[in-house]
Structure 1
Amino acid sequence: MDELAIRRIVVVGGGTAGWMAAAALSRVLGRAVEIELIESEAIGTVGVGEATIPHLQYFNRLLGIDEDDFVRRTAATFKLGIEFVDWGRIGDRYFHPFGTYGQEMEGLHFHHFWLRQAQLGGALELDRFSIGADAARAQRFQRPDHSRAGSPLGTISYAFQFDASLYARYLRERAEASGVRRTEGRIVDVALDSGNGHVQAVTLEDSSRVAGDLFIDCSGFRGLLISKALGAGFEDWSHWLPCDRAVARACRRTTDPLPYTRATAKAAGWQWRIPLQSRTGNGYVYCSDHLSDDEALAGLNAALDGDPLSEPNFLKFKAGVRHKAWDRNVVALGLASGFLEPLESTSIHLIQSAIARLLTNFPDRRFNQHDIDYYNRRTRVEYEQVRDFIILHYAATTRDDSPLWRYCRSMALPTSLEERIAIFRENGRLYRHDNELFSETSWLAVMHGQGLVPRRYHPLADLLPEGELDKRMTHIANAMRLAVDRMPSHQQFLDQIGRTAA
């Protein structure tokens, strides 16, 4: 092995972030690198991230995980998107589906033709052109079926809703089987190199010392290494995302689990509902300037579907991002690198993409600063793109029933988001920059769902004769309906996976 090669990696903190990092690094690097994960049972994990986006499938495939086994082991359900209630106005309800709307025609995105037909007065609801939205409302699910050429069944896109603690345990088993060593203990000291300022080792309560070449900080909001030891700064985004508290609580499942997550806007924040096989996850994200902890818990309890199964878990946070997610020989993942509220289920994805970026720019012990700078630039861009998408939900509203919503509808927006909204309002155009996480479908779903109406559509959409336009749109809608009718119910699909385990 090269004398400058990384030989020891120390992961500080367990939970979802720590065990995702340990499992992926051990899978890719094999036993050529020693990996040690330090965690303390006395330090709880946040554990509110129970919903995901479709990209998690790629991570599981990287680890060689059988999807049916994963679903059984994590009490998972399938997720076709997110339903938003009361966001644009009280009484409104819309769906943000995974996948696409309709199909491209004449080289243009489908929604330009839908906008044209809507202006002509003959368009069906936009959701009628999304198999994800249609199937979710019908409580149906199946994996993509590519055997029928041209069928919407081949375009199904899905994610998961699962027990995050079970997922961490599942990944721990795989990581330890690949040679990762777990050490129980609380870190009480961090030793830095007097020359270059790198972390040399951490000391535990029992006085044992754990040295490493590369440290992965998964210590949550504390940022034990990246912040407390190295002093990497934090950029506060709470002026755009003012919610700074959450209370989470599980309740008994009273019906078959829905194949989607629900986010319901409240006067001082919003409430999530995430159906698992074993229970329903619930939480209230709120702004402490406008709601007390006791009031938030009372509001959450009043909205539970079934009897509570856990004590309430209160969390404090601040939206923002580290100035440096990678500083010297420390890479921060998860909450240690930044926080964006879980409105669009991006927390686990941001961990996953950071791990992939680290592997792409994997260092040796010289820790090339150009690689580190590139990593940090791309991390910041990703956070900013997700940030803008989340802000859109708050800004694109006509609600004025509470101080929070009056503030959000009038606050100054990031220039990047202001430009997107202005372009869409004028001509319905949507752009995807740098292969960013959220596609044109996602931006359209939220913008349209919350009442942003373009003045015009792409002029090339007028080249299709009106009669042909109506014919194609009817055909697409009918194909969607017939495809959904062929799908089993979500519960039937889960039952089939359960039978496989027997």
Structure 2
Amino acid sequence: MKNTVRHVVILGGGTAGWISAAMLVQFLGADTRISLVESSRIGTIGVGEATIPTIKTLNSSLDLGEQHFIRQVDATFKLGIQFEGWGGKDSLYMHTFGEVGKDQSFCPFHHYVLRARLAGKDVDLWDYSLNYQAARRHLFAPVRSGPDMPAMDYAYHFDAALYANYLRDYAVSKGVERIDAVVESVRTDPESGHVTQLHLDNDDTLGGDLFIDCSGFRALLIEQTLGVKFIDWDHWLPCDRAVAVQSGKLASLPPYTRSIAHPGGWQWQIPLQSRTGNGLVYSSREYSDDQARAILESGIDGDATTDYNLIRFRVGVRERPWHKNVVAVGLSGGFLEPLESTSIHLVHSALLRLIWCFPHQGISRFEVDEFNRQVRHEWAQIRDFIIAHYHLNNRDDSELWRHCASMELSHELAHKISLYRETGKLLRECEALFGIPSWLQVLEGQGVRPGECHPIAAATALEEVDDMLARLRQSISRPIGAMPSHAQFIGMLA
């Protein structure tokens, strides 16, 4: 007979631990005891200061009001990511979160842009992105989509430590038990192999039915105790280190993240209300740690306000993120470099899946298998999206970029790129995180130019296409003309 799950123990705080605690207590707290063990003596690696629009769904599910959230976590708004030097040394484009244009019946909008281009017209795809037009002017205000108005989606930049504390206070107020201690040893059942107890440095023991491993790269439960294999993806994503530092606030507040390509990796810049987050993701085959620090130091705006933090990592995912009665969430379950700001989303989606198949009446092999299948599938889809950025480069200034341009891709990614290059068609796979607008902007931004457009667009008179494009440009210009600066909008919420 299966054992019921009435007590969940979360090992590790930080963003992953406290998102887990907040979501579990919000949706399961009435029937489930939830304890979280973290040590104030052990630091955490924040899972990122930049997010994607699913963060709004997470906050909404916890009933976190946006204005209060903005104030508490030093947040700013994010309309997308600006990629500098990825297609080539002088290239620049933006992956924005909103729609690009407005799709027509049976024919995606971008095919009309292709139609105009194939007729010899110079048409910029981003002229039809409301997000881009606001972002490049450093403007922000929510705008509702309409018949002739592209949707304007957004996410946030924020202080990851403040967000973890914000969720900690939320979770504890709802009944989560917080235990400040270090785990000295882990006990398992000799027959089932399940984790049964954590022995703490305060001489207490903590038993549980289900354990959530948020212990970061240490992976104390999922790897050190249960020995679950890590699937390494460094042959596709060869960067294996990062150095991070904070600097003062920017003179102007851009509502986007910057991703700046370097010969040995790429640099991020994340604008918050009171400071700026900076970092350099790099391959240790290209840069020494001292070189990476010097490159980052020379590339930040203003002076550093914190010490430089070196992070070593492996890119990949656990073979079984859920094994026996341990579920790995956050860095213990895997790591994808923060190029597309997916770290917090992956924590959120893991908890959504866990809640969906929560083992109240005991752990079912079928639910565990389905959880693991879905997690691995989502990670692989996001992995391929990140790989596309590296692969579609036109740089020749280091072995890193030459390797990425020539490496063999997964069948799915190779097919997606070839399909777009030959036909202009993009298809969204079932439940894929990144949809057609995202893939379109990355492929377009990194120089992939289709050789044809959809037959419906091809059959449309060029004069009709010109009129459609002109109307869209005009509809976008109206809200842009009335929009406050990003800094002004933040000030209205203070």
Is residue 95–residue 449 contact of structure 1 (8 Å, CA) maintained in 2? yes
**Paired residue for 1:98?**
97
Is 1:323 equivalent to 2:319 in the alignment? yes
Counterparts of 2:3 and 2:343, CA distance in 1: 33
CA RMSD of aligned residues (A): 1.3
CA distance in 2, matches of 1:328, 1:470: 60
Aligned to 1:486: 482
Cα distance between partner residues in 1 of 2:323 and 2:234: 24
What is the alpha-carbon distance in structure 2 between the residues aligned to residue 308 and residue 38 of structure 1?
33
Gaps of 5+ in 2: none
2:395 paired with 1:399 = yes
Match of 1:288 in 2: 284
How far does residue 158 in structure 1 lie from its aligned partner after superposition? 0.2
What residue is the counterpart of 2:10 in the other structure? 11
Aligned residue runs from structure 1 range 11-410, under 5 A: 11-47=10-46, 49-145=48-144, 149-150=146-147, 152=149, 155-410=151-406
| Structure 1: segments with no counterpart, 5+ residues | none
Alpha-carbon offset, residue 383 of structure 1: 0.2
Q: Give the drift of 1:121.
A: 2.1
Deviates more, 1:198-207 or 1:236-245: 198-207
Runs of 4+ in structure 1 off by over 6 angstroms are: none
State whether structure 2 residue 446 is matched by structure 1 residue 440.
no
What is the deviation of 1:3?
9.7
- Offset at 1:144? 3.0
Per-residue Cα deviation, 1:287-311 (whole angstroms, up to 9, x for no partner): 0011000000000010111111110
Report the alpha carbon displacement of residue 492 of structure 1 after superposing the two structures with TM.
1.0
Q: State whether structure 2 residue 422 is matched by structure 1 residue 426.
A: yes
Shift of residue 151 of structure 1?
Answer: 5.3
Query: Distance between the aligned counterparts of 2:378 and 2:353, measured in 1?
Result: 11
Aligned with residue 410 of structure 2, among 414, 438, 448: 414
Q: CA deviation at 1:486?
A: 1.8
Tell me the distance in 2 between the aligned counterparts of 1:196 and 1:364: 18
Q: Deviations over 1:314-336 (max 9, x none)?
A: 00001100000000111110111
CA distance in 2, matches of 1:100, 1:5: 45
**TM-superposed deviation, 1:155:** 1.5
Distance 2:437 2:30 in 1: 42
Asked if the contact 1:114/1:123 (under 8 Å) is kept, the reply is no
**Residue identity in the other structure for 1:218:** C
Cα distance in 2 for partners of 1:298, 1:3 equals 56
Shift of 1:254: 3.4
C-alpha distance in structure 2 between counterparts of 1:9 and 1:446, whole Å: 41
Contact 2:18 2:164 in 1 (8 A): yes
The letter for the 1-side match of 2:233 is W
- The CA deviation at 1:355 is 0.5
